[in-house]
């Protein structure tokens, strides 16, 4: 059943209606603040200042809400595995595109990526999301392995571990990056690539 | 009131007693699996296969358990700020000591560090832990700043952002490092330092 978007902040002053997108945006904040397991539909209704039935107008259940929220992170990440600039061309460029694009998805979908990264796999929806995340990780590790074989990256380190450190560094941004912070997103993106490839050591 | 350690696995076969340390070790796993907010003392008792009163023999409350668990991560991390090999000597060595020691604490106290990293600050105990964590971060950022001033690290990047990427890369290990994995801890430690300082690019 498709949801009917309610007019946002239109119907009654001080008691804005929500569409599915804004229910999602607010719910993911509550999931991240208290943990998915600890969040009830009653808590979400309280935070949104609406009745539970107003939420059920947009989603069937808490798990449905989780699935929609995780898609906000997973769909753009999965799109990277289909992206021509990451799939074809010189491997050094493919790798750099992958790193930059991952940073951009993280910044663009920060709360949803945070939710994804904290999943523990307690429900079917979570386990399915973790499977999809693993497929993206495998593709990234293949790219890193290829870059090692072609002499772009150091060969003396395990590809899987290098991949985890690389993408772990990027994932950590979910916890500390602030869009209104002192360093703009584009500069953080450059720094991630610089650190990943050349480290932070000063060079003459 | 000091807790009296019960004999581990001694009293009744198939129904082992727990001392405070093992209550803590098992509780932190449940906190990490379901989130602190979602974990009740009843759930902990169920997971441990003991009565709630058996847990209250060792700790006063769930918050007390959280405080003890967070100390397992924070005390050794705070000790780094007092460590002579990190406080004195050439800044390049101090920085390398700090990176290596942080990796070692993370590996040694992995579940407790995971708990610390996922805190949201919903309770006084959590906010106090986040304050202590911030003090450690400030000390690390000062060291990175000093290393930049002395020409050890690149100067063209914001010290705070560099610090966050460096320690974010290390923190990410909480999510993926496995003591029984293919790469031994000492090798991961070397790789973290190598990547932080020189990146993963192959060099002639």
Whether B119 is covered by a domain: the verdict is yes
On whether any CB of chain B is under 8 Å from the CB of A52, the answer is no
Instruction: Determine the average pLDDT of the residues in A11-19.
Output: 55
Whether B203 is covered by a domain: the verdict is no
For residue B9, what pLDDT band results from cuts at 50, 70 and 90?
very low
State residue A157's pLDDT score. Answer: 83
Q: Are A175 and B37 a contacting pair at CB < 8 A?
A: no
Whether A203 is covered by a domain: the verdict is no
Whether A204 is covered by a domain: the verdict is no
| pLDDT beyond 50 at A150 | yes
Do B42 and B122 share a domain, yes or no?
no
Contact list in A for residue B153 (CB cut-off 8 A) is 200-202
For residue B2, what pLDDT band results from cuts at 50, 70 and 90?
very low
Whether B165 is covered by a domain: the verdict is yes
Express each pLDDT in A124-143 by its tens digit.
Answer: 999 999 999 999 999 999 99
Do B93 and B171 share a domain, yes or no?
yes
Which residues in A125-156 are b (16+ Cβ under 10 Å) and which e? bbeebeebbeebbebbbebbbebbeeebbbee
Higher pLDDT, B77 or A159: B77
Nearest by CB to residue B161, choosing from A117, A161, A183, is A183
Q: Are A164 and B176 a contacting pair at CB < 8 A?
A: yes
Do B56 and B95 share a domain, yes or no?
no
Contact list in A for residue B182 (CB cut-off 8 A) is 158, 160
Compute the distance between CA of residue B196 and CA of residue B61 in angstroms, rounded to an integer. 41
| pLDDT beyond 50 at A4 | no
Could you tell me where the beta strands, DSSP code E, fall in A3-51?
A: none
Instruction: Determine the average pLDDT of the residues in B128-140.
Output: 96
| pLDDT beyond 80 at A15 | no
Q: Strand, helix or coil at A51?
A: coil
Nearest by CB to residue B196, choosing from A34, A157, A200, is A200
Do B115 and B19 share a domain, yes or no?
no
State residue A182's pLDDT score. Answer: 86
- Window 153-172 of A: residues touching B by CB (8 A cutoff) are 153-155, 157-158, 160-162, 164-169, 171-172
Instruction: Determine the average pLDDT of the residues in A176-197.
Output: 92
DSSP β-bridge partners for residue B15: B12
| pLDDT beyond 70 at B15 | no
Nearest by CB to residue A188, choosing from B117, B161, B198, is B161
State residue A70's pLDDT score. Answer: 98
Sorted by sequence, the CB contacts under 8 Å of residue A88 that are 6+ apart come out as A94
Domain finish residue from B33, B60, B87: B60
Whether B204 is covered by a domain: the verdict is no
Q: Return the residue of B nearest to A154 by Cα.
A: B202
Instruction: Determine the average pLDDT of the residues in A147-157.
Output: 92
Do B104 and B144 share a domain, yes or no?
yes
Do B42 and B126 share a domain, yes or no?
no
Domain span including residue B48: 1-60
Q: Which two tokens stand for residue A42?
A: 């009653």
Express each pLDDT in B71-100 by its tens digit.
Answer: 999 999 999 999 999 999 999 999 999 999
Domain finish residue from A60, A86, A111: A60
State residue B193's pLDDT score. Answer: 93
Whether B125 is covered by a domain: the verdict is yes
Give the DSSP per-residue string, A67-130.
Answer: HHHHHHHHHHHHHHTT-HHHHSS-HHHHHHHHHHHHHHHHHHTHHHHHHHHT----SHHHHHHH
- Window 122-151 of A: residues touching B by CB (8 A cutoff) are 122, 148, 151
Whether A139 is covered by a domain: the verdict is yes
pLDDT, chain B, mean = 90
Burial class (CB in 10 A: 0-12, 13-18, 19+), B156: exposed
Do A145 and A173 share a domain, yes or no?
yes
Number of folded domains that form chain B? 2
pLDDT, chain A, mean = 90
Percent above pLDDT 70 for chain A: 92
Express each pLDDT in A90-127 by its tens digit.
Answer: 999 999 999 999 999 999 999 999 999 999 999 999 99
For residue A20, what pLDDT band results from cuts at 50, 70 and 90?
confident
Looking at residue B191, which CATH number applies to its domain?
1.10.357.10
Do A20 and A84 share a domain, yes or no?
no
Do A108 and A188 share a domain, yes or no?
yes
Contact list in B for residue A160 (CB cut-off 8 A) is 182-183
Q: Are A164 and B172 a contacting pair at CB < 8 A?
A: yes
Instruction: Determine the average pLDDT of the residues in B26-55.
Output: 94
State residue B20's pLDDT score. Answer: 87
State residue A185's pLDDT score. Answer: 93
Sorted by sequence, the CB contacts under 8 Å of residue B180 that are 6+ apart come out as none
Express each pLDDT in A53-99 by its tens digit.
Answer: 999 999 999 999 999 999 999 999 999 999 999 999 999 999 999 99
For residue B140, what pLDDT band results from cuts at 50, 70 and 90?
very high
CB pairs under 8 A between A and B: 150
State residue B108's pLDDT score. Answer: 97
Q: Are A37 and B34 a contacting pair at CB < 8 A?
A: yes
Do B53 and B75 share a domain, yes or no?
no
Do B179 and B160 share a domain, yes or no?
yes
State residue A16's pLDDT score. Answer: 57
Q: Are B162 and A34 a contacting pair at CB < 8 A?
A: no
On whether any CB of chain B is under 8 Å from the CB of A11, the answer is no
Do A163 and A109 share a domain, yes or no?
yes
| pLDDT beyond 70 at A3 | no
Q: Return the residue of A nearest to B178 by Cα.
A: A161
Looking at residue A31, which CATH number applies to its domain?
1.10.10
């Amino acid at each position: 059943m498709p949801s009917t978007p309610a007019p946002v902040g239109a119907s009654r002053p001080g008691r804005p209606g929500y569409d599915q997108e804004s229910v999602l945006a607010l719910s993911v904040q509550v999931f991240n603040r208290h943990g998915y397991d600890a969040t009830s539909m009653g808590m979400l209704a309280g935070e949104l200042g609406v009745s539970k039935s107003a939420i059920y107008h947009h989603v069937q259940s808490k798990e449905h809400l989780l699935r929609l929220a995780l898609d906000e992170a997973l769909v753009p990440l999965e799109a990277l595995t289909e992206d021509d600039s990451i799939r074809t061309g010189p491997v050094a460029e493919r790798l750099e595109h992958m790193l930059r694009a991952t940073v951009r998805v993280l910044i663009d979908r920060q709360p949803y990526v945070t939710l994804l990264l904290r999943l523990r796999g307690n429900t079917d929806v979570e386990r399915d999301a973790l499977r999809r995340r693993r497929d993206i990780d495998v593709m990234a590790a293949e790219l890193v392995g290829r870059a090692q074989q072609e002499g772009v990256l150091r060969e003396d380190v395990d590809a899987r571990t290098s991949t985890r450190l690389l993408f772990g560094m990027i994932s950590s941004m979910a916890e500390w990056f602030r869009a209104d912070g002192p360093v703009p997103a584009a500069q953080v993106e450059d720094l991630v690539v610089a650190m990943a490839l050349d480290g932070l050591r000063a060079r003459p």
